[in-house]
Amino acid sequence: MAGSGQAMPMNNSDGQAPGHVANSGPGENPPKGQTTAKEGETADTKVNVDDAVVAKAPTGEEVDFKKISVDEALKVLKVNVEGLTSAQAKDRLAEYGPNKLPESTRNPILVYLGYMWNPLSWAMEVAAIIAIALLDYADFCLIVALLFLNATISYVEESNADKAIKALTAALAPKAKALRDGKVDTIDAQYLVPGDIVVVRLGEIVPADIKLMGESGEDDHPLQVDQAALTGESLPVKKYTNDVCFSGSTIKQGEKHAIVYATGANTFFGRAAALIGSTNNVANLQKIMTKIGACCLITIGVWMVIELAVQFGHYRHACAGGENGCPTLTNMLVIIVGGIPIAMPTVLNVTLALGAFKLAKEGAIVARMSAVEEMAGMDILCSDKTGTLTLNKLTVEQASVNPFGNYSREEVIKYAALSAQRNSEEAIDLVLAESYEHKDTLWDEYECPKFIPFNPVDKYTIAIIRDKKSGEMMRIMKGAPQIVIKKARNASEITELGTQKITEYASRGFRALGVAKGSADGPINGVQWEAVGLLPLYDPPRHDTGETIRRCIQKGLLVKMITGDQALIGRETAKQLGMGTNIFNTEVLLKAKEGKGLPEGFAHVEDLVERADGFAEVFPEHKFMIVEMLQKAHHMVGMTGDGVNDAPALKKADVGIAVDGATDAARGAADIVLTKPGLSTIVEAIIGARKIFQRMTTYSKYTVAMTFRICFTFGLLTVIYNWYFPTLLIVLLAVFNDGAMIALSKDRVVSSPTPNSWNLRAIFISGIVYGLYLTLSSWTLFFAASKTEFFRDRCHMFTLNTRTRHVTTFCNQMIPELGYTAGANICSVPGYATQPHCVRAGGPDTTNGPITILDQCIAEQYYVRNSILRSLIYSHVSISGQAMVFVVRTMSWSLIARAGLWTYIAFFLAQVRSACISTPCWAC
């Protein structure tokens, strides 16, 4: 293209892929019905365009409606220019279905119950069944309450899976003007059928895929169609008779009759929806929670088997239903309830929700909570160019304006502004009018009595301009630069320079526009044109995008440009933003995928996708494919976009990000929606997400450590000492300590400089080490308190020694001091004489022999000492367990690594509650 001296294409049209060069500026469009490929390319390489315009005719055959004429389309669709009759439309509606996307619905009750169908919930449900079998109503109610709390939080926070489809459906035009029974009627767009003749005009959304009808030749007035949301093209495109328009695009200028050839899910718009509907990603956080939960469940399962074997086999426990009927099951319940990370879904979801609330304040609304965790691990960001990296607003690159002869750059811009048609919606007219410094007073000095619009044959426009002050008249031409230069009277002198500039503009991704001035006297064919200059036009980057890209790179995030524009334009934009310029056309990618050749230096297609800085001339299927291939290469992929064409890839990506001003379809498919222009918010969101990730990692380490600690501590105490611990205390321990962990959502953390990932091996190893360490400390405390005189001898405290010899000695010493004989019947002691076994008819119960004062003393000492021991162990497990969070939250010394204020407050309050419970616990 550049080498042949051809103009840089202004834009795409005719529903073509971006590789089919059809220019939208004055003098830039090829003749109607023709397409021009870039040098070295052919139209047949752009497969997706053909796919987008192929539809089934009533006969059942597939027809390419772009390639056939209007008359042939009418024949294929079995309709005439008078449109369908009501009866025909009814029959076709029954055959093709309504012009809307398929709606999928889910039973909300089943969705809610689905959050209780996972390994962690199963274990909690088993615990609830055991609790109710033992008539342990308090434990049962607490366990069930936690189960429903987890499900409720998940149900409320997760976005509905049908949201993207519904947003796409809502974007379809609600009304349409159709020719039925020989007259134009306004009908609901959903009742359109293939073969309908419709009228589309300024400001309307195209209701279905259509083929334009009307006059051909010089009387053919094109439509200006904005299809940026569909194809990623940065400017409205001109659509002539025989061209096709896609459902969901917007008419910016003009009016035409058209024939509908595809409706509903068969439209180009519907194909995008189908891609979204075919995507069903499992959240990475859910996978991680499942693995952590599995580790906990395996640990619990092992200890359950050990306890069952030892208590039934060695201690010969009996088991019956009802309250206190089966101590073995009660002990198992301690292991199950204490070992299950009961509050893990709740704590993680609340942590994500509070983090998402903070992100929302910074302009990033989180639609799917688990996307926050995935954003923390995101290492590749695929960004749409038009409207995301750039302003989606054509601009004159004034520093590169090239004047001819004695004209200055300011004069070139001034004459270009005068050449623009006033009150026009044409993008190039708008940008030329806005580019002149004195645009506000320009038309106070000049007027335009006549304007000759662009036509694809001549490829230029002419404005007749009159100077109000002098009365001088002149003609100003703008159009394809080659045409303008060729018509100049000094063409031989400026052709070489002009060609060099056009080539330079093309190499930089600019669109070239020529401006010339001539006399208003005489016929137009005899005008002596004087070339004024060349203007480069481009879609400029947003002012903050370069800094955003730089910060992304600093954070270890690779940014790839995925655009519907041409590769040259993408490379120039990338160069301005400091991105890599190794950008390929999708033709290269498709050939590589089909095994038809790779660019030099690439080993395979996956290597190409990973190492390329971006891809140009893409359609929705390509974006979807690129994201999918990167995910298969084990990358956490983010995708930004704003249009319908971005929606499939947004849905497929690990983190779909809809930028400010995105369509409903893009917002519905995205996980995160930005409410501020540009991408600067993304960097702040990434930093925030990585902080949230650090907090979730802290809790995960804490969870694993506590599971091992509870299982090993109470498992060993039960197996070795046949010791009993109340299940209620374990449930309260989980509620208070895990509930306090919500404060981690506000903990002081530093975001990592690189993308985060779950190192489960490190989490499990550290959890096991910390858990076993805490188990050792608990066992040491238990042994010192219940099997030795350590606390009495060293701390002068009441002994909790429960060894039989020690308790018997203690009672034999205490009973005489109280004035009683150890062997006397307990019923002789005041206060005991009124007990049931002493006052029963026939005298005291001596079935198992008389109960002596010594027997009663020993039983009471066992009861009191074990109760106080349980209180001591509960306090130790609670305090040391929650204090563990200060250790696992940092790699440095925990005493000097300051945590967040709320973490300290939560720890204090949790321990106050534990003290309130453990103080009277001697009565348990």
> How far apart (Å, rounded) are the C-alpha atoms in residues 558 and 509?
23
Helices (H), 15-161: 47-53, 70-76, 86-96, 108-114, 119-133, 137-157
Orientation angle between helical segments 680-721 and 545-554, nearest 10 degrees: 30
Q: What are phi and psi of 640, to 5 degrees?
A: -105, 155
> What's the Cα-to-Cα distance from 569 to each of 512, 566, 678, rounded to whole Å?
12, 5, 19
* CA terminus-to-terminus distance, the chain: 88
Is 71 labeled as catalytic in the residue annotation? no
Task: Name residue 665's amino acid.
Answer: A
Query: Nearest Cα to 35, choosing from 47, 18, 53?
Result: 18
Q: Of the residues 139, 226, 384, 565, which is catalytic?
A: 384
Question: Tell me, what DSSP letter sits at residue 97?
Answer: -
As a whole number of Å, the CA-based R_g of the chain is 39
> How far apart (Å, rounded) are the C-alpha atoms in residues 472 and 452?
19
Tokens describing residue 331: 């002990």
Q: What is the DSSP string of 361-428?
A: HTTEEESSTHHHHHHHH--EEEEEIIIIIB-S--EE-GGG-EE-TT--HHHHHHHHHHHSPTT---HH
**Residue 520 and residue 464 in contact, taking contact as beta carbons nearer than 8 Å:** yes
Task: Determine the Cα angle at 64 with ends 60 and 70, to 5°.
Answer: 100
> How far apart (Å, rounded) are the C-alpha atoms in residues 265 and 254?
27
**Residue 477 and residue 529 in contact, taking contact as beta carbons nearer than 8 Å:** yes
Tokens describing residue 168: 């796409």
Q: What is the DSSP string of 855-870?
A: HHHHHHHHHHHHHHHH
> How far apart (Å, rounded) are the C-alpha atoms in residues 463 and 465?
6
637-641 and 380-384 strand pairing? parallel
> What's the Cα-to-Cα distance from 241 to each of 212, 218, 258, 406, 565, rounded to whole Å?
5, 11, 9, 42, 24
Query: Nearest Cα to 397, choosing from 510, 541, 281, 255?
Result: 510
558-562 and 380-384 strand pairing? parallel
**Residue 170 and residue 664 in contact, taking contact as beta carbons nearer than 8 Å:** yes
Tokens describing residue 23: 């220019």
> How far apart (Å, rounded) are the C-alpha atoms in residues 906 and 747?
11
Q: What are phi and psi of 672, to 5 degrees?
A: -130, 135
Percent of residues in the chain assigned helix, strand, coil, to nearest 5: 50, 15, 35
> What's the Cα-to-Cα distance from 684 to each of 490, 491, 548, 688, rounded to whole Å?
56, 54, 10, 6
| Active-site residue set | 384
